[in-house]
Structure formats: structure tokens, C-alpha cells
């Protein structure tokens, strides 16, 4: 499951590279969703579904242990303090991720935003349902061989051109 598929670059690359895997992409923005749906229709492998939905719906859309990976890449950081309540990465999201992920399943996160990454790490401080198997403040310097460094989203390419370090973590459901 990918939350916030955006323009779909990762989704299209991943589904075609791994045609034996089922994939669900989610995004709530209409215009992006409309254009992405047209591009997805042209792909050779049809091992995916695309939903126009918010990440907050994940716990309602999937059953217990139904998902083996959740991708959460370059989410809106809602940088103003008064907007922090809109950030998806909160206790409810972790509750939902724990519910839908199978034991050993992973939540994979990438962001350019230092403040949001620090926020996520704070949310993980007292969280014992997940094991942090990767935590880096500079993905391409620290873990260039990791799966998360094997592709770049549209936004990620822009951030890298601006010399912004990509923060990443992988949470494994216990």
C-alpha cells in the first residue's frame, strides 16, 4: 500500500518491476488522481488498484494483517505548528499500520523535511509495537544500497538537486 501516490512515478515503476505483487496506491487529490489513473491504464501489468482516498482511511480499507508493506513517501509536512494536528504520522496512524500490517510487515518512510522527521521519531519513542530497522538522516550517504535508495520520486529528485538530505526509516511490525 502506498499512501500519497502523488504523480505515481514510484507506483508505476514498482508495479511493473514486480508484476507478481499486488499493489494499492492511494491519494486524495483529484487532478493528480485523474491524470495518474489515465497513465496507469496504459501499463502492461495490471497488478494494482488505485484509490482516491486519504491515508487516514487505511484502517478502514484493509483488514488485520492484510498488508505486508506500507510506503509513506514525502508526505505534506504541515510545517506550521498550528497545522501539526493535520500530520498523518500520529498515534492513530501507527495504530492503523499495526493493525493492517502482517507480523514482520514494514512501514517505509522517506521525507526531506527535518522537522517532520523529528516529529515522527518523537512519536516512535514510546512505541513498542514496531522495531526500527532503519533510521537515517542522510539515506544516500548512509545506506546507498538499501531498497529505499534504489529509486527516486519526482519530489525527491527536486530535493536532491537542492542538496537536501533525504531522511528515512523502516518500521517492522513485531
What's phi and psi for 98, nearest 5 deg? Answer: -60, -40
Q: Give 30 or 93, the one with higher predicted confidence.
A: 93
Active-site residue (options: 76, 95, 118, 138) = 76
Question: Percent of the chain at pLDDT above 70?
Answer: 100
User: How confident is the model over 8-17, as pLDDT tens digits?
Assistant: 889 999 999 9
What pLDDT is recorded for position 36? 84
Question: Percent of the chain at pLDDT above 90?
Answer: 77
What pLDDT is recorded for position 43? 86
Instruction: Tell me what the mean pLDDT of segment 42-63 comes to.
Output: 92
Cell 497545522 -> residue = 83
pLDDT band at 153 (very low <50, low <70, confident <90, very high): confident
Instruction: Tell me what the mean pLDDT of segment 72-87 comes to.
Output: 91
Question: Is the pLDDT assigned to residue 34 strictly greater than 90?
Answer: no
- The answer to whether residue 76 is catalytic is yes
Instruction: Tell me what the mean pLDDT of segment 26-50 comes to.
Output: 86
Amino acid at each position: 500500500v502506498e499512501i500519497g501516490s502523488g504523480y505515481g512515478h514510484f507506483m508505476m515503476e514498482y508495479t511493473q518491476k514486480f508484476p507478481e505483487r499486488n499493489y494499492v496506491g492511494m491519494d486524495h487529490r483529484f487532478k493528480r488522481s485523474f491524470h495518474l489513473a489515465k497513465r496507469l491504464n496504459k501499463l502492461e501489468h495490471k497488478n494494482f488498484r488505485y484509490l482516491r482516498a486519504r491515508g487516514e482511511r487505511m484502517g478502514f480499507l484493509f483488514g488485520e494483517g492484510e498488508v505486508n508493506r506500507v510506503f509513506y513517501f514525502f508526505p505534506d509536512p504541515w510545517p506550521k505548528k498550528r497545522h501539526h494536528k493535520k500530520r498523518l504520522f500520529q498515534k492513530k496512524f501507527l495504530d492503523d499500520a499495526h493493525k493492517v500490517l502482517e507480523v514482520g510487515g514494514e512501514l517505509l518512510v522517506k521525507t526531506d523535511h527535518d522537522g517532520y522527521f523529528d516529529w515522527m521519531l518523537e512519536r516512535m519513542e514510546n512505541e513498542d509495537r514496531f522495531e526500527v530497522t532503519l533510521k537515517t538522516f542522510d539515506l544516500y550517504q548512509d545506506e546507498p544500497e538499501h531498497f529505499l535508495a534504489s529509486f527516486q520520486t519526482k519530489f525527491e529528485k527536486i530535493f536532491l538537486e537542492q542538496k537536501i538530505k533525504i531522511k528515512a526509516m523502516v518500521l517492522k511490525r513485531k
